[in-house]
Every structure is written in structure tokens, then in C-alpha cells.
Structure 1
Amino acid sequence: MTNERTYSYLGPAGTFTEVALAQVPEAQGQTWKPVANVAQALADVTDGTSTGAILAIENTVDGGVSSVQDALAKSQGLRIVGEYLVPVSFVLVAPRGTRLDQVVDIAAHPVAYAQCLEWLGANIPGHTHVIAGSNVASAIGVLDGSLPAQAAIAAPGVVKHYDVDVLAEGIGDNADAVTRFVFVTRAVAPPAPTGSDKTSLIVELPREVPGALLEMLEQFATRGINLSLIQSRPIGDRLGRYRFIIDADGHIEDERMADALMGLKRFSPNVLFLGSYPRADRERVHPEPRYSDASFAAAREWLRGLRTP
């Protein structure tokens, strides 16, 4: 018998996702499986091929990663059990011996390219963008000749796996860019609350009427719960129908969060609980006294006394 486990991530090796997986304690010393897309990563977890998968879900520059949000909305029996942050920086790489003044065509994933426009405009103003499927694919394409470019924009980790020269480092336009990754497993009980937690949900409005969105948000506001993310995504059955991806500060074991979830369930026909898990930044959540667990317990005791004098 063996305790070896497999973890899926968007590959190939050298991606930011691989860097995020390196932060997951339980994945250390285990098998890492690169996959081609989000659907495959989640399918691996669902069918038991992999114990877990790491996926990019939000970026400080581009916002939510819609492909991951949509895939989670359609998945069954999965839970987010952790999150990890990866600073985003880019390097310009090329085959050995290439000089920067020889570069005319640059291979890059469109998102990476958009985040390096200022540097490219200042240093290679006459360049042409050659679209690549991923940051690593851009480097591979330049090396094997499958992409008509002399250099590629890639993640710094690419140099550990491929024989390239680094022509320039730190070419991203936003030095504070960070990507947030979530670690997904099959449905399990949430990790114990730490006081520095986040709860992720997907909620659909019950009907398209004035004030419906406000009523949904009030489930959190009236219980003193801050939302660190709220993003709409089309449901797809007809125009004007949206679901909302929500990150709320707190844990399902917190009285205020549990009460909000019950309110959402009464309000919405479809509430998908994605998980409660420790925040990557470990910043503690401090609710106002009237929203503390003790306050909720005292209110219940007061009501019990009214019912049974």
C-alpha cells in the first residue's frame, strides 16, 4: 500500500500555477500532474484521479478568472479548502545567444502581453505580438520554432525547466500584481475556523425584480459581513440572468455567517457553498460586538425566555 497522492495543476511545468501548488503543504513530496485546462483539473478531483487541484481564480489586474468561476458553478461535490497568493512578474526569454536588439516578434499569452505593454513600448517599440496559448507555451514555441517569434514573455519559473536566455526581468507594468489561487478537493468538512477565514459562495437571484440584488446583499450587510469579492457571471439560459460569485469574510462556523447562509437559502433557489477556509493573508476578521457569536447566543437565550416565561 502507498500513501502517494496526485495533485492537478494547469501546466506545463513552469507556470504560476505550479508556483502556487508549491505552497500547498500536503502536496509536497507528492505527484504533480500538469493538465491542459480547468475542466480537466476539476474532473481529476471529481473522479478521484487527483486528491486536489490548484486553480487561479482572481488577479489584482484582471479581476476574476471567469473560466474557473463558471467551472466551479457547474461542478458537484467539490470544496475550496485553501487559498494561496502568487506575486506576478514576467521575464523576456529567448533561445541562447539572442540579443534584445534582434527581437522583432514576441510570443505571449494575451493576458501576459497586456500586462507588459508599457515596458514593451519603451524597449521594443516596433515589435509584433504573436499569440501563445499560455506563458509556458510562448517559450516552448520560440524554442522549437512552432511560433514565429524571437523572444517570449513568460513566468520566471520557466528558466528552471527550459534552456533559455533571460533578456529582461521584471517587465510587468504593475509591480504589485498578485494572482489568487484556490485549492479544491472533493467535498469535505470545512477546515476549523481560525479567526482569519473566508467563505466562497455562488448565488442566483430568485427573480428579476427591482431590489432583488439589494435583498441578496442585505443578507450579509445586516449581519456585519464584509464581501471581499462579488462578481456577476451569466447563467446562460437567457439574457439578463446572472449568478453572483461571492467571497465573504468569515467562516461557516461563525454565527453571523451561518445566519446569513440560512437567509440566502430562504431567499435564493440556488445557493452553492464552495467552502470556508483560511485567508492567504492571515488577516484576522474583527466583527463588531453586536455581530459576535456571543451576541447571537445572547439573542437566542432572550428569545427562548420570551417563548417560555
Structure 2
Amino acid sequence: MTSEPLAAPTRRTYSFLGPAGTFTEAALAQVPEARDQNWRPVRNVGEALADVVEGRSDAAMIAIENSVDGGVSTTQDALATVPGLRIVGEYLVPVEFVLVAKPGVRLEAVSVIAAHPVAYAQCLTWLTATLPEHSHIPAASNVAAAVGIVDGVIDADAAIAPPGILKLHDLELLAEKIGDNAHAVTRFVLVSRTAPPPAPTGADKTSLIVELPEDHPGALLELLEQFATRGINLSLLASRPIGDELGRYRFVIDADGHIEDERMADALLGLRRFSPRVLYLGSYPRADRAIVRYPDRYSDEVFVEARDWLRGLVSGEPEA
């Protein structure tokens, strides 16, 4: 009697800003469960998130924050408006840039440079000093800029790209380490469809998007007090226009801790009572795995004891 062959395990698919060689691909390479799976290059954040929502991908890696330029507005706005998503992890990638061109091109001959706008801004001091009369052509990604000049699709003399591009394409290295900040880092998040958060690790972060109920003096302070009075540190607070009228903003928040922490759960309840819209994006391990520290008076046990005390008062139990 012969047994049926076992079916091959289903491979997962991950979307990332392509083509191969981007910083986003470098971030995805840090995800253990993504190794030896299907990697799907896309052209922009919207396409990556649509892949997840519509089921073409199991998760997408997207840039959300840069240590030089701050939050990535296209990502923050997309997360605020595309329903059914959860952040399940974050990853940090050091940012380094090179200037490349077709073989034979010399640096002094460069007058038009292709680059992603964020990368261009991060190299502007070097470019102004070295090529003061240059002009810039925006590209969907830095790898796309380099590939575009190789293929002749982009009418530029050179491109700003990550160093790994030199291993993938026949390009001339005109200059390296051209970024204005040697310590620049980009933070990426892995986004999946709505699912329970990973278990707490003690080194976690919770991401939210919150709208103010109305514009009045102290409204933002009231929002922040939901965290401050529970001993929760915020590692990111950024405002983005809602877009329906002038003066209306939503706030993108990263808070230290996990939704299963008593203090964080209590803060979310406070936010829910305060705000007309609280969007929970997820609780997930910090990329640096730094343990979240807080005063003992904000420990889980203190919150549980306070709730038990109140229940006792309501039920008529004698106080000890």
C-alpha cells in the first residue's frame, strides 16, 4: 500500500518597495519568517498595502520614519485611511548613499541627478558643495533611479543609490558616503491584515493614530495626559492633516509598552472615551529590543489591585 505524498508547505508572500537592492528589501531580509518565501517587489506604499488587504501578500514591509526627516507622511496617511491593517514588527536599517553612473561617466560631467526625494534631501549638502549647478529628477526609489539611467528610461547623468546597487548592475562609482548624516537610520514596519498582536516581550511598542474631539485650548494636552498619568513614554508624536478642512489634524503616536500591559490598556480606554476616533495599529517588539522601564507605581499589579479595591467597595466588602 502506497501513501499519498505530503503536500509542499504553502509559501508566504511579502511585498516590498522594489526592485531588488532597496533599503526596504534590506529591512525585509531581517525578518526570519520571510526567508525562503516569495518576495513581491512593488512601486509604492499604496500598492504594498493593497497587496495585503486584497490578499496578494501576507505582509508588506514599508518605511515609516527616518532619523533625519522624521515620519514618512505617505505611509502615515495610508495607515490612517486603509482599514484592516496591523503592524506586527519593526526593523531598523542604516542609511548610506553612493552616487553612480553609467561606466565612463566622470563626476565633473554630472549635471542631472535621479533620486528618490527623501534620499535627495538627505544628500543635499554634499550635492550643493560638490555639484552646485545640478538639477534633480525624482524617482520612485533609489534603485529605480540607478536602473533607469542604465536602461535609458531616466534622462539623468547619475543616480543616488544604496551601495548594494553596485553588486547588481554595471555602474560606475562616482562617490560614496555622500549622505549628510553618517548616523541616519530608517525605521520600517511589517504590516499584515488585522490579527491578534504578538505576545508581550517586555520590550514592546504600541502604535496609534488619534484624532482630537474638537479644537480647543488644551485639547492636545488632554490627549497626552492619557499617557502621562499612566507612566507611558511616547517615542513618536507626529501630526498629519485630516484633509477635510483647515486646522484639523490626526496624531500618529508610538507609545512604549504593549496593549496587554495594564497601564497601556487603561490608557487606550481613556483615549476611547476622549477621542471620536482611535485607530489601533498594533503592539509589537521594539527593533532595539530595549526593555521598557517605568516606575513601580505603574506596574500591572498596582492597576489590578486598584480595580479589585473598587470592586470591593461596590460589592460592600469590608475594607482591610
Q: 2:107·2:174 contact (CA, 8 Å) conserved in 1?
A: yes
Q: Tell me which moved more, 205-214 or 66-75.
A: 205-214
- TM-score, normalised to structure 1's length? 0.96
Q: Tell me which moved more, 92-101 or 69-78.
A: 92-101
1:20 is matched with which residue: 8, 15, 27? 27
Determine the structure 2 residue equivalent to 1:278: 285
Matched residue type, 2:26: V
1:129 is matched with which residue: 136, 141, 144? 136
How far has the Cα of 1:125 moved from its partner? 3.6
How far has the Cα of 1:67 moved from its partner? 0.6
Matched, 1:145 2:132: no
Give me the whole-angstrom Cα distance separating, in 2, the residues matched to 1:236 and 1:125.
Answer: 37
Matched residue type, 1:134: S
How far has the Cα of 1:50 moved from its partner? 0.4
Give me the whole-angstrom Cα distance separating, in 2, the residues matched to 1:122 and 1:203.
Answer: 42
> Structure 1 regions of 5+ residues with no counterpart?
none
2:19 is paired with a residue whose SS is coil
Determine the structure 2 residue equivalent to 1:294: 301
Give me the whole-angstrom Cα distance separating, in 2, the residues matched to 1:188 and 1:102.
Answer: 53
Give me the whole-angstrom Cα distance separating, in 1, the residues matched to 2:310 and 2:230.
Answer: 18
Give me the whole-angstrom Cα distance separating, in 2, the residues matched to 1:241 and 1:126.
Answer: 40
2:206 is matched with which residue: 190, 199, 217? 199
Determine the structure 1 residue equivalent to 2:188: 181
Matched, 1:56 2:63: yes
Aligned residues: 309
1:34 is paired with a residue whose SS is strand
Deviation digits for residues 77-115 of structure 1, max 9, x if unmatched?
A: 211000000111101111123332333332222221221
Matched, 1:208 2:215: yes
Matched, 1:73 2:50: no
Determine the structure 1 residue equivalent to 2:89: 82
Give me the whole-angstrom Cα distance separating, in 1, the residues matched to 2:266 and 2:209.
Answer: 17
Determine the structure 2 residue equivalent to 1:172: 179
Determine the structure 1 residue equivalent to 2:242: 235
1:156 is paired with a residue whose SS is coil
Q: CA RMSD in A?
A: 1.4
> Structure 2 regions of 5+ residues with no counterpart?
1-6
Q: Tell me which moved more, 121-130 or 132-141.
A: 121-130
Q: Tell me which moved more, 199-208 or 107-116.
A: 107-116
Give me the whole-angstrom Cα distance separating, in 2, the residues matched to 1:93 and 1:200.
Answer: 37
Matched residue type, 1:208: D
Identity %, equivalent residues: 70
Q: 2:43·2:140 contact (CA, 8 Å) conserved in 1?
A: no
How far has the Cα of 1:204 moved from its partner? 0.8
1:247 is matched with which residue: 244, 254, 260? 254
How far has the Cα of 1:163 moved from its partner? 1.6
Matched, 1:161 2:176: no
Deviation digits for residues 107-145 of structure 1, max 9, x if unmatched?
A: 222221221122223333443333333212221222122
Deviation digits for residues 13-65 of structure 1, max 9, x if unmatched?
A: 22111111111111100110011121111111112110100000000111111
Give me the whole-angstrom Cα distance separating, in 1, the residues matched to 2:14 and 2:202.
Answer: 28
Give me the whole-angstrom Cα distance separating, in 2, the residues matched to 1:76 and 1:121.
Answer: 42
Matched residue type, 1:253: E
Give me the whole-angstrom Cα distance separating, in 1, the residues matched to 2:158 and 2:132.
Answer: 14
How far has the Cα of 1:275 moved from its partner? 0.2
How far has the Cα of 1:206 moved from its partner? 1.2
Give me the whole-angstrom Cα distance separating, in 2, the residues matched to 1:303 and 1:132.
Answer: 59
Deviation digits for residues 230-277 of structure 1, max 9, x if unmatched?
A: 111111111111111100000001000000000111111111100000
Determine the structure 1 residue equivalent to 2:4: none
Matched, 1:263 2:270: yes
1:84 is paired with a residue whose SS is strand
- How does 1:102-117 map onto structure 2 within 5 Å? 102-117=109-124
Give me the whole-angstrom Cα distance separating, in 1, the residues matched to 2:279 and 2:113.
Answer: 42
Alpha carbons of 1:76 and 1:133: their partners in 2 closer, same or farther (altered >3 Å)?
closer
Matched residue type, 1:161: L
1:302 is paired with a residue whose SS is helix
